[in-house]
A and B are shown apart, each in its own frame.
Chain A
Amino acid sequence: MRKTNWLLLGLALVLSMFLVACSGGGDNNADGGNSEGNTEEKNESEGNEGSEGAEGEPSGEQVLNITDSAEIPTMDPSMATDAVAFQWLGSTMDGLYRLGENAKLEPAIAKSHEQSEDALTWTFKLREDATWENGDPVTAHDFVYAWQRAVNPDTGSEYGPYMMNGVIKNAEAISKGEMPVDKLGVTAEDDYTLKVELEKPIPYFLSLTAFGTFLPLNQDFVEKQGDKFALEADTILANGPFKMTEWKHEEGWTLEKNKDYWDAENVNLEKINVKVVKETSTRVNLYDSGEIDAAALSGEFVQQKAGSEELKTEEEPVLFYLKMNQQHEVLGNVNARKAIQSVINREDLVNVILANGSLPAVGDIPQNFAKHPESGKDFREINGPLVEHNVEKAQEHWKKALEELGKDKVELELLGGDSEVAKEMDAYLKNQLEQLEGLTVNVKPVPFKERLRLDTEMEYELQNSGWGPDYIDPNTFLNMWVTDGGNNKTGYSNEEYDALIEKANNELALEPVKRFETFLEAEKMLIKEDAVLAPLYQRAVAKLWKPYVKGVITNPMGPDYTYKYAYIDKE
C-alpha cells in the first residue's frame, strides 16, 4: 500500500512536469530563435558562420537584426497611437507621401498633387502600379475607406478624430456621430484620383499624409478579417517596402522585403528580425554578443560606451519644460515665473542628469524641427535662446515678485514622475529652484496617469511635462497655449498671443513666410515676455549602431526610423 502511494506521488509529479512542459513549448519551441535563424541563412549565402561582429568579411547578406522596446499594440492604422505601432506600420505601408531624408516628403502612392486657389481642395494623382500584398491595386477608394473609418465613432479611434477634426471637411461632426460617415471631405473621383476637401487651409497638410492614421486600407480585406484584422501576421495587408511574415506576440516579429512593392528596386534589406527587449543591459549584452545590430541606451550605459564610434545620438523633436499653474498666486506673477526660468542650469541637467545627448531647451520649438520657408534657416537659430541661466537675474526677478506679492517665504509643490530618471531629475530641479531666496519646493512623485488627471483638473503648482509634435509645423507646439486650449492647463490667457496664432492659421495660411514670422513672434511672447513655461531640455536617444548598418533614416515624426533605403555593408 505504501509503495503504491509513493508511486502515485511520483507519477503525479512527473505528469505535472510533462503537462507544464507542453503548455510552455506549444508555440514557442516550434522554430529556433533569432540567432539560429540567422546562422542558417548565413550558411546558405556566404558561409559566414558564427558571430556577426566578424570584421572585414564581405557579405552580401541583407538581414537587419534589431530590437524594439515593447510588443506592437496594434497594426491597425486607425487604432495606432504609439511609437512602436507607427514604426512598423510605416515600414510595411505606404501612404500618399512618405518621409525621406531630412524629413523631406517623397511621393509614395501619390504621384503628384494639386492645390486649389483657396487651398481648400487638394487633388492627388495616384500611381497605378502600386499593389497590396494580395495583388489588389491600391486605389483612391482605399484612402476614402481608411479615412472614413478613422473618424467613424464606431471605430473608437483616438488618433483619427484628433488628427482629422478641423482639418478634413466634416470630420468633427462625423466623429461626434452627428453626420453620416460618407459626408467626410474625401472622395475618389476615379480609381487613381483622390480629392480631399479641407475645413480651412492647412499649410502642413502634406506632412499629415505621411502620418500613420492617413494610411490606406483595403476594404474587402479589412471587412473579411472583421475583429481579427491586424491581430496576426496573416491578418495584415502590406502595400509598403516590407511585409510582416511572422509575429510572435511579445517575443518578436519578422519583416521581409515586399517583392511586389512599386519601388522594390530601391529596397535593399531582404529581412528585418525584430525582438522585444525591454531591459537596456540586456540590449547591450545582445549587441556586444553580435546578436543584434543596434541598441538604444540610457543613462549609465551611455557613459560606459562613451567614446565608441558606434555610439550615435539622435535628437528628437520632443520638448520638456516646467509647466507653471498661473492660478496659483505666486506663479500668476510674471516675475516669479521669469525667476524660475533663469535659475535652472540646463547644461548641467542634460550633461549630468540625463547624459544621453539631450539638448538644453531654450524655447518652445525644438532644434532642427521647422525651417524658414525661404532662407531654410532653423526656427531655433532665428529666434535664438529665449531663456538663459543667470542666477543673479533670477534673484532680482524673484525679489521683485515677492515684493509685489508682499511675501517673504513661498512653498511650491512640484509634481514629479515615479521613474528612476524622473526622481533624479526632480531632485535636481528642487535643488536648482531652492536657490531662490525664501523658496521651498516639495516634490510629489505621482504615476503618469495621476499626473495627467491633476493636469486636466489644474490641481498642480509646478510640473515637469513634455510634448511631441503631431506634424511638422510650429503650430503643433504653439497652438496649445491659446486661451482655454485643450492642453493649455496653465491658466495662461493673452489676447495678443491668441490673435497671433489665429492669424497664422487663417489669414496667413497661404503666406508661408509671413506665417513663419508670426510663429517666431508668438514664441518670443510666450517664453520671453509672458514666461509661461520654463523650458528644460530637448530629448535625444543614444544608440549603438553596428558600422555595417547603413542608410537608416531617422524621422522627426511618425515612424522613428525609415528602413526602406537601409542596407548592410560588411565590406
Chain B
Amino acid sequence: MARYITKRLIYMLLTLIIIATFSFFLMKMLPGTPLTMEDKLSEAQKEIILEKYGLNDPVPIQYLKYMGGLAVGDLGISFQFDNREVTDIIMDRIGPSMQLGAQALIIGTIIGMLLGLVAAIYHNGFLDYSSTFVAVIGKSIPSFIFAGLLQYFIALKLGWFPVALWGTWQHTVLPTVALAMFPIAIAARFMRTEMLEVLGSDFIQTARAKGVNKFGVVFKHGVRNALIPLVTVMGPLAVALMTGTLVIEKIFAVPGIGEQFVTSITTNDFPIIMGTTLFFSFFFIFIILVIDLLYGLIDPRIRLAEGEK
C-alpha cells in the first residue's frame, strides 16, 4: 500500500509540473499587462515598471524563474493586491469556499442518496416520481436563480437567515442550501439507477430467497454495491464545490476563492492565476487518489496494490 501511494505521489508531482507548464504559456498569451493604469500610462513608463517586475524578460526565462520559485514553495506576490503573497491570498479565501462546498456536498449527498433510494424502492410509484421531479429541478434551475429566490423569500421576506455576508454559521445556511441542489440531483439520479440495477440482480434474489428481510437486503447488499459509481462522480463534484463558485459567492457576498480566480484572469494577475490553477489541480489530483483508495474500502474485489499478492 505504501509503495502504491508513493508511486501515485510521484505521478501527482509530474502532473502538476505539466499543468504548471501548460498554464504558464497559455497565460502568457493573454493580451495586456497586469498594470492597472494601462490605459493612461505612456509606453516608456510602462516599460520601466514591467522591467522592474521582470515582465520584459523572454517568456522562457520568466518560466524558468517561476518554476525555480515554485520548487522552493514560492508562489510569488500578487499584482492586483500589491505585495500580498499569493499563498496568503489563497489561504485567506479558500476557507469559506471549502466550508460551503463541504457542507453542501455532505448534505446534498445524504439527501440525494435518500431520495434515490426511496425512488428505487418505490419504483414507478408516487415517491419515485416526486424524487425524480426534485432531481430534475435541482439539475435544471440555474443556481443563481435558486440563490436569488432563497435570498429574497427566506432571508428578506421571512427573515429566517441573514440576507448575505459572512461571519456566523447562520450566514452559511442559505449558500449551502443553494449549492446543495446540484449534489442532491446528481446523487439522487445515480442512486436510483444503480439501486434499480442492483436490486434486480441475482445475488439480491438469492438473499431474498434466503429470507433476509427487506431492510437488510437494501442496506447491506444493495447500497454498498450502488456506491461505486456514485463515489466516482462525487470526486470531481467535491472539487467543483469546494474550490468555490463564482455565482453563489457573489450573490451571498462570501469572501471565497471562486470569484478571485476569474478576477485574476481579467486583470492579468499572473502569480494569482498560476497559484490558483496549481492549487485547484493539486486538490483535484489529491481527491482522485482518495477516491481510488476509497474503492478498496467499499469493494474488497478492487485491489489497488499489486505488491500485496
Complex Cα–Cα for A159 and B38 (A): 11
From known contacts A29-B167, A79-B82, infer whether A449 and B266 are also in contact, taking CB-CB under 8 Å.
Answer: yes
When the two chains form their complex, are residues B52 and A279 in contact, meaning their CB atoms are under 8 A apart?
A: no
22 contacts between A and B (CB under 8 A): A23-B94, A24-B102, A25-B95, A32-B167, A35-B165, A79-B83, A153-B52, A158-B49, A161-B48, A165-B45, A177-B48, A228-B83, A250-B93, A252-B165, A275-B165, A281-B251, A282-B163, A286-B163, A286-B164, A289-B155, A455-B39, A486-B43
Confirm or deny: B53 has a beta carbon within 8 angstroms of a beta carbon on chain A: yes
Does A28 lie within 8 Å of B255, measured CB to CB? yes
Least Cβ distance of A432 to chain B in Å? 25
Q: Known interface pairs A31-B167, A449-B32, A453-B32. Does A279 touch B95 (Cβ–Cβ under 8 Å)?
A: no
Within the complex, the shortest CB–CB distance from A197 to chain B, in Å, comes to 22
- Contact partners of A281 in chain B: CB under 8 A: 148, 151, 251
In the assembled complex, the CB of A211 is this many whole angstroms from the nearest CB of chain B, namely: 14
A8 and B92: CB pair below 8 A?
no
Contact with B along A4-17 (1 / 0, CB 8 A): 01001100100011
Chain A residues with CB under 8 Å of B270's CB are none
Instruction: Report the 3 A-B pairs with minimum CB-CB distance, sorted nearest first.
Output: A24-B99, A33-B167, A449-B32
- When distances are taken between beta carbons in the complex, the residues of chain B under 8 Å from A252 are 165
Query: Does A154 reach chain B (CB closer than 8 Å)?
Result: yes
CB B272 to nearest CB in A, in angstroms, measures 12
Known: A158-B37, A282-B251, A487-B40. A28 touches B45 (CB 8 A): no
Task: Other than A73-B80, A449-B31, A449-B268, give 8 A-B pairs with Cβ distance below 8 A.
Answer: A17-B106, A20-B102, A24-B98, A33-B162, A249-B89, A291-B162, A448-B266, A449-B32
Number of interface residues of B (CB under 8 A): 64
- In the complex, which residues of chain A have a beta carbon less than 8 angstroms from the beta carbon of B159? 289
B38 touches A449 (CB 8 A): yes
Residue numbers of B with Cβ under 8 A of A are: 30-32, 35-45, 48-49, 52-53, 80-84, 89, 92-96, 98-100, 102, 106, 148, 151-152, 155-156, 159, 162-169, 171, 242, 250-253, 255-256, 259-260, 266, 268, 294, 297-298, 300
C-alpha spacing A21/B169, complex, angstroms: 11
Q: Quick check: B95 and A28 within 8 Å, CB to CB? A: yes
Least CB distance, B14 to chain A, in whole angstroms: 26
**A277 close to chain B: CB less than 8 A:** yes
Interface range for A? 35 or more
Task: Choose from A12, A34, A277, A486 the contact partner of B167 (Cβ within 8 Å).
Answer: A34
Determine if A135 is an interface residue (Cβ-Cβ < 8 Å): no
Q: Closest A-chain residue to B37, C-beta based?
A: A158
> Chain B residues near A165 (CB, 8 Å)?
45
Interface membership of A41, Cβ < 8 A: no
Complex: A416 Cα to B222 Cα, angstroms: 57
Please name all residues of chain A whose beta carbon is closer than 8 Å to the beta carbon of B253 when the two chains form the complex. Answer: 275-279, 282
**CB contact list, A242-301 vs B, under 8 A:** 248-252, 275-279, 281-282, 285-286, 288-289, 291
A289 with B102: CB separation less than 8 A: no
A175 is an interface residue with CB less than 8 A from chain B: yes
Inter-chain contacts of A277 with B (CB < 8 A): 164-165, 253
B297 touches A250 (CB 8 A): no
Contacts A9-B297, A286-B163, A449-B30 given; indicate if A162 touches B45 (C-beta within 8 A). yes
Determine whether A441 belongs to the interface, using a CB cutoff of 8 Å to chain B. Answer: no
A286 engages B165 (CB within 8 Å)? yes
Output the nearest chain B residue to A453 by Cβ-Cβ distance. Answer: B31
* B36 contact set on A, CB distance < 8 A: 73, 81-82, 158
Closest to A35 in B: B162
Restricting to A53-71, which residues have a CB under 8 Å from any CB of B? 71
CB-contact partner of A156 in B53, B156, B164, B255, under 8 A:
B53
Contacts of B38 in A (CB 8 A): 449, 452
CB atoms of B167 and A28 under 8 A apart: yes
* Residues from chain A with Cβ under 8 Å of B99 in the complex: 20-21, 23-25
Cα–Cα distance between A9 and B266 once the two chains are bound (Å): 42
Given A158-B36, A161-B45, also A450-B31 (CB < 8 A):
yes
CB distance from A154 to the nearest CB of B (A): 7
Q: Which of A498-546 contact B (CB under 8 A)?
A: none
Bound complex: CA of A12 vs CA of B287, how far in Å?
13
List, in ascending order, chain B residues with CB within 8 A of A384's CB: none
Give the Cβ gap from A25 to chain B, nearest Cβ, in Å: 7
Interface string of A203-221 (1 = CB under 8 A from B): 0000000000000000000
Name A277's closest neighbour in chain B (CB-CB).
Answer: B253
CA–CA, A26 to B151, complex, Å? 26
Q: A25-B99, A279-B253 are in contact. Are A285 and B83 (CB under 8 A)?
A: no
- CB of A71 within 8 A of CB of B81, answer yes
Kindly state whether residue A329 has any CB partner on chain B within 8 Å.
Answer: no
